[in-house]
């Protein structure tokens, strides 16, 4: 099947490399067309379904994440931590209750929170809820925070 002899054709190796490269690209989904089953599932839920999901799938992992980051600050982690004190009366619509952000302007203490959000919170939200929650996605930072 395979010969130990090298091809006598000078373009044989180039052709092989290009063929492998094109084949590998065919395995990738088209840009922007990647399926997002978790995001689609979230969008399909009604209000009660979203409450159930948040309570059963999101709350526990997020509580652990925030408390591991700063146990004292987040010792009373609750729905209100992200959704604001009036979250329930506003049906937990976001953004609500979190301090507004100005893109790119964070001082020293805030920078630690931004790093935590980018490196821990955003990836966990994407894992649990889909690509809309990715930084730069439909929700991203400003899906939870208002913009100044």
- pLDDT number for residue 77: 94
Q: Does residue 95 have a cis peptide bond before it, meaning omega lies within 30 degrees of 0?
A: yes
**Could you tell me which residues are beta bridge partners of residue 147?**
101
Alpha helices in 10-56 (DSSP H): 12-26, 37-44, 47-53
**Exposure on the CB side of residue 70, measured as CA atoms within 13 A:** 10
pLDDT in tens, 74-104: 999 999 998 989 989 999 888 888 888 777 6
Domain boundaries, the chain: 36-144
Report how far residue 13's alpha carbon sits from residue 16's, in angstroms, rounded to the nearest whole number.
5
The average pLDDT across 109-127 equals 84
Whole-number mean pLDDT of the chain? 76
**Exposure on the CB side of residue 26, measured as CA atoms within 13 A:** 6
The average pLDDT across 26-31 equals 44
If one counts every other C-beta atom within 10 angstroms of the C-beta of residue 81, the result is: 16
Instruction: Name the DSSP letter for residue 133.
Output: G
Least confident of 67-76, 79-88, 104-113: 104-113
79, 125 Cβ separation under 8 angstroms: no
- pLDDT number for residue 71: 96
Q: Which among 146, 117, 109 has a CA at the least distance from the CA of 133?
A: 117
Q: Is the pLDDT of residue 105 over 50?
A: yes
- Residue 136 pLDDT grade (very low, low, confident, very high; cuts 50, 70, 90): low
Instruction: Name the DSSP letter for residue 31.
Output: T
Q: Is the pLDDT of residue 147 over 60?
A: yes
63 class by beta-carbon count within 10 Å (0-12 exposed, 13-18 middle, 19+ buried): middle
126, 134 Cβ separation under 8 angstroms: yes
């Amino acid at each position: 099947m395979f010969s130990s002899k090298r091809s006598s054709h000078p373009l044989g190796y180039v052709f092989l490399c290009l063929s492998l490269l094109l084949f590998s690209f065919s395995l990738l989904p088209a840009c922007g067309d990647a399926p997002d089953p978790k995001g689609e599932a979230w969008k399909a839920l009604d209000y009660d379904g979203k409450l159930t999901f948040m309570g059963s799938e999101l709350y526990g992992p997020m509580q652990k994440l925030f408390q591991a980051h700063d146990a004292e600050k987040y010792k009373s982690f609750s729905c209100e931590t992200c959704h604001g004190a009036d979250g329930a009366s506003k049906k937990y619509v976001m953004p609500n209750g979190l301090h507004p952000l100005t893109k790119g302007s964070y001082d020293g203490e805030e920078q630690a929170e931004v790093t935590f959000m980018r490196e821990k919170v955003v990836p966990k939200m994407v894992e649990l809820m889909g690509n809309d929650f990715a930084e730069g996605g439909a929700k991203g930072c400003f899906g939870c925070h208002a913009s100044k």
